[in-house]
Amino acid sequence: MNSQLLSLAIWVPILGALPVFWIGSERRALVRWLSLLVAIAGFLVTIPLYTGFDASQVGMQFVEKTPWITRFNVQYFLGVDGISMPFILLNSLITIFVVLAGWEVIEEKQAQYMGAFLVMSGLMNGIFSALDGILFYVFFEASLIPMYIIIGVWGGPNRVYAAFKFFLYTLLGSLLMLVALIWLFLEAGGSFSILDWHEMRIGMAPQILIFVAFLVSFAVKVPMWPVHTWLPDAHVEAPTGGSVVLAAIALKLGAYGFVRFSLPIVPDASHHLAPMMIALSLIAVVYIGFVALVQTDMKKLIAYSSISHMGFVTLGFFIFNAIGVEGALVQMISHGFISAAMFLCVGVMYDRMHSRQIADYGGVVHTMPKFAGLFVFFAMANSGLPATSGFVGEFMVILGAIKANFWMGFAAATTLILGAAYTLWMIKRVVFGPIGNPHVAELTDINGREFLVLGLLAVCVLAMGLYPFPFTEVMHASVDNLLKHVAASKL
Amino acid sequence: MLNNFVMPDLYPAAPEIFLLLMSFLVLFVDLFFGATHRWMAAMLTAVTLLGCAALTLVTSDGQTTLTFSNMFVDDLLSDFLKLMTYLAVLMMLVYSRQYLADRGLDKGEFYVLVLYATLGMMVMISAASLLTMYLGLELMSLSLYGLVAIDRDSTRGTEAAMKYFVLGALASGLLLYGMSMIYGATGSLELGGIAQAMYQGHSEKTVLVFGLVFLVAGIAFKLGLVPFHMWIPDVYHGAPTAVTMFVGSAPKLAAFAMALRLLVYGMFGLAGDWQKMLLVMAVLSIGLGNLAAIAQTNIKRMLAYSAISHMGYMVLGLMSGVVGGQVDAFTAVNAYSSALYYSVAYVLMTLGAFGTVLLLSRAGYEAENLEDFKGLNKRSPWFAAMMLIFMFSMAGIPFFIGFFAKFAVLLAAIKAGYTTVAVIAVMFSLIGAFYYLRVVKLMYFDAPADSAPITAGLDLRVLLSLNGLAVAGFGLFPDALMLVCTTTLMRSL
């Protein structure tokens, strides 16, 4: 088996970013095409990960292992299972869209913009494939740097505040995680391998502490209520590409952390604290859903909708049954497509009107019919319409929740109403009705590039909604294995 | 009486002797050619350092050799630290060449003082007795006092030198007093003899601990640990930037050597006592350094407070070698090598950060305010990226060397059972991240306030680039340097 694939997925975008930086922003055409080339190459090298994946196998695949820091037995240890592999593909695919989205609208320092996204894409792939605690941490933290720069340089008026808030909030969590990782290393007798940690026995008191350290780190990233407040700021201020990567990929890192670290390493603490996690998730689903309802800024609305949807993901993880966990994973991928598409749609309108306020729009369908069609479709998907990917994940999680407890499932199901309410109400005010003002009347419909991006995303959303089997198939074995781990006590 | 005189083995001290002889040559050359050929003194200084490096490498045999009646030690640790010192001094000379020339400070005295300060550090690094330690320390400190005041028309520089001198003399007095106590209790000036006397347990513990307190205070002053840190911000701020760079880099290595030799080699019997003192000072330094740095608008002052917090982290590693009064070799090597690694990493980052300040300075203009970094990304994306590397590295963000230094120290601390302290330390580094991020914010998010082209010479540009790449490269491949630090300590303990 070819085992260099994961390294390629990580380093092709990062090394490809170097010539992009080097060319500099003066030669715009060259920068764009080279970035696109690198992004496509980065996606192509991840395809064999899917085609060569053995869905029946439980363990890690495409494993690479070389010593990195011999002093502390830190390994350059990569590998994917059915849980992490889809995210690498998703991330690499989204990177192409992000490059295309920044094609014309980024006028200042375009080379740095494109380069930062390519670097981040590589780092994200590193996070999803790292099987060594320190390697994971290093990728996890390093990915803050490009995001900080992206929000701060190309963001909106309040970008500096948002960039600092984003960076410090996330750093707060990850620093505590570092202490937990070192503690685990010493407890495991000198191993940073996550797989070794999965097998390790830990007492209840340290389990709780480790769970809390991981929780702070991942809850900020997800983000879970009540540490979600950085997200609306970051989303609103970030440029379109930044919002897309944040929503589609960065939020998944926190949720991924729960399945890779919290659940299998400290299963007893996870069970013990599951009621709290479920409560926090339901608050995110219901309360944040109401918060989304009253937003006047489209990006903020979608940001709150993201938090609410991610509440579903954490809910799915902590009800500990197969359908719930799988549903959560499907929801993560689906949300990756849909939130990316939603932010791109808002970006399309923002590029033309330089406003994100719902009140500034109205009757967009009259001037941008093609766009309106796609936007409405994505909005439907966002509110969980059957036959779109948004439905599959939510349905599975609700099913899992009802299995565990009827009222829990009932509370979760309110999202179907709330989600539809805030999304469709926004659509009604923005897309339909009479033309709101002269600026809307002057709008031009989307061009070929924008249509390509949104169209491809629509195909993904539809495909996943109609035939989710290829996505769930690769997960089965890994999810079963995970649940087996979680069920066994480590005390 | 004369017949009893045994000629000491001079071979292990060859680099020191060579440097001393060369410094005379620099003085002579400066006397005759100083007015017309200023470059000669600089060139000779550089040659001296390279020669010292060659001699250090040649005389290094990996063995621990004591000479001058057991007052001078040549081991792998001293060789490694000396090589790092030469490197730091040499880098400082290249970085500051144009800065000094623009301000007319590139006089012979500057180079001679730098050489003597270096000699002092070398003696400190190789000291195996309290007397040689003090000798080296004074030689280094007195040269540094002079260097801080080298710009004699600058009132700020003179004031800084005065403060440095008065406080430094006080610290030296404390140290000397402590040494006399130790001598009185153990009857030995040699570190080995002190350790042995303590081991045999014939010494009066009260006197020893009393002496230890003063010793630790002296060390803390040289490292700049809270509450002996008062001089750091003023000296960093007041001295010409080139001198600040010097004061902030190589002497930290010498101070590390002093701490290690005095406390670990000499006073190991009192490990439980000095461990507690270091712990308190480490936590206070990390806390105060990071908090006070936020309030600064001058980058030299900001880096001064950052230095205080960095030394706090270093000491956190240094004190983690003993667990509950018990020692095992693995924990000890782990802890001391993490502190050594931290010192080396810190010197690399500090040189780079001050190098960027020098890059932006030009004739008649000191780029020492944070505002001067505004919009650097527009003026020079490459050097903005370098400064970004230094800042994130200092903040402890991977993939840069600063992260692995913090990681090694935290690991040592947690291994020694100081998990709570480790949590406090990382929380303060979160606060610290804020002011490093602010520099990045100024460089990337703000529009330039000063659009003058960067006039720094090619040598500075190349060195700064290499320095930045080293900080990033040692972060991507941290293994080699870590192993060097560990092996060095293992073979020298």
DSSP letters of B12-29? Answer: GGHHHHHHHHHHHHHHHH
> Tens digits of per-residue pLDDT, B177-223?
999 999 988 888 888 888 888 888 777 888 889 999 999 999 999 89
Inter-chain contacts counted by CB atoms under 8 A, chains A and B? 93
Q: In the predicted model, is pLDDT for residue A54 greater than 80?
A: yes
Q: What is the pLDDT of residues A309-327, one digit of tens each?
A: 888 889 888 888 888 888 8
Which of A171, A176, A177 to substitute to test the interface with B, most B CBs within 10 Å? A171
Instruction: Check whether B3 has a pLDDT greater than 80.
Output: no
Is A152's CB within 8 Å of B486's CB?
no
- Pairwise CB contact (< 8 Å): B414 & A182: yes
Burial of residue B272, with CB atoms counted within 10 A of its CB: 0-12 exposed, 13-18 middle, 19 or more buried: exposed
Instruction: Say whether A112 and B403 touch across the interface (CB within 8 A).
Output: no
Distance CA A455, CA A332 (A): 20
Q: Do B433 and A167 touch (CB under 8 A)?
A: yes
Cβ neighbours of B397 in A, within 8 Å? 141-142, 144-145, 171
Instruction: Tell whether B415 is within 8 A of chain A (Cβ).
Output: yes
Q: Which pLDDT score is estimated for B325? A: 63
- A1: confidence class by pLDDT, cuts 50, 70, 90: very low
CA pair distance B420, B283, nearest whole angstrom: 11
Q: How many residues in chain A?
A: 491
Residue B92 has pLDDT above 90, yes or no: yes
pLDDT digits (tens, 9 = 90+) for B272-318: 888 889 999 999 999 999 999 998 999 999 999 999 999 999 999 98
Nearest to A142 among B377, B398, B429 (CB): B398
Q: How far is B404 from chain A (nearest CA, A)?
A: 10
Span A295-314, pLDDT tens digits: 888 888 888 988 888 888 89
How far apart are the CA of A88 and the nearest CA of chain B, in angstroms?
Answer: 21
Q: Quick check: helix, strand or coil at residue A189?
A: coil
Residue A123: closest C-alpha in chain B: B399
Structure tokens at A439: 């600026």
Q: Collapsing DSSP states into helix, strand and coil, what is residue B229?
A: coil
The H or E element spanning position B436 is: helix B419-445
pLDDT, one tens digit per residue, over A220-241 is 888 888 888 888 888 888 888 8
Please list every residue in chain A whose beta carbon sits closer than 8 Å to the beta carbon of residue B429.
175
Q: For A152, which of B426, B430, B445 is closest by C-beta distance?
A: B445
B411 pLDDT exceeds 60? Answer: yes
Identify the DSSP state of B465: H
Nearest to B358 by CA among B223, B440, B463: B463
pLDDT at residue A257 greater than cutoff 80 = yes
Looking at residue B116, what is its pLDDT?
Answer: 94
**pTM of the full structure:** 0.91
Q: At what angle do helices B299-318 and B329-360 cross, to 10 degrees?
A: 170
Q: What is the enclosing helix (H) or strand (E) of B66?
A: strand B65-67
Q: How far is A212 from chain B (nearest CA, A)?
A: 13
Which two tokens mark B166?
A: 């008065």
Chain B residues near residue A144 by CB distance under 8 angstroms: 397
* pLDDT for the residue A139: 92
The yes-or-no verdict on residue A242 having pLDDT over 80 is: yes
Residue B218: which residues within 8 A CB-CB, separation 6 or more?
A: B171, B172, B174, B175, B178
Most confidently predicted of A2-16, A17-31, A275-289: A275-289
**Token pair of B312 as six digits:** 């706090």
Distance from CA of A283 to the nearest CA of B (A): 28
Closest chain A residue by Cα to residue B474: A69
Asked if the Cβ–Cβ distance from A142 to B397 is below 8 Å, we say yes
A197: distance to nearest CA of chain B, Å?
A: 17
CA distance B138 to chain A (A): 37
Looking at residue B417, its pLDDT comes to: 84
What pLDDT score was predicted for residue B173? 92
Q: Do B397 and A141 touch (CB under 8 A)?
A: yes
Distances from the Cα of B458 to the Cα of B95, B311, B356, B359, angstroms: 10, 32, 13, 10
Report which of B324, B342, B481 is spatially closest to residue B409, judged by C-alpha positions: B342
Residues B149 and B113: their CA atoms lie apart, in Å, by 11
List the single residue in A with minimal CA-CA distance to B411. Answer: A182
* Cβ pair A175:B429 closer than 8 A: yes
pLDDT classification of B131: cutoffs 50, 70, 90? very high
According to the model, what pLDDT value does residue A51 have? 85
User: Does residue B176 surpass a pLDDT of 80?
Assistant: yes
CA distance A38 to A30: 12
Whether residue A88 has pLDDT greater than 70? yes
Of B407, B415, B445, nearest to A159 by CB-CB distance is B445
Write the residue in B415, B423, B440 that is nearest to A179 by C-beta. Answer: B423
Predicted confidence at residue A393, as pLDDT, reads 85
Q: In whole numbers, what is the pLDDT of chain A averaged over residues? A: 86
Q: Per-residue pLDDT for A2 more than 60?
A: no
Residue of chain B minimizing CA distance to A175: B426
Contact A182 B403 (CB under 8 A): no
What is the model's pLDDT at position B307? 93
Nearest to A429 by CA among A389, A379, A370: A379
Tell me which residue of B346, B316, B177, B336 sits closest to B251, measured CA to CA.
B346
Q: Across the interface, do B381 and A71 touch by the CB < 8 Å criterion? A: no
H helix or E strand, kind and range, residue B166: helix B155-186
DSSP-derived secondary structure letter, B326: B
What is the predicted pLDDT for the residue at B324?
A: 67
Across B415-429, average pLDDT: 89
Does residue B422 sit at the A interface (CB-CB below 8 Å)? yes
Other beta carbons within 10 angstroms of residue A201's beta carbon come to 9
Write out pLDDT tens, residues A384-442.
888 888 888 888 888 888 888 888 888 888 888 888 888 888 888 888 878 878 877 77
pLDDT tens figures, A169-220: 888 888 889 999 998 898 888 888 888 888 888 888 888 889 999 998 898 8
Provide the residue type at B70 as one letter: N
For chain B positions 376-395, those within 8 Å of chain A (CB to CB) are 377, 381, 388, 392
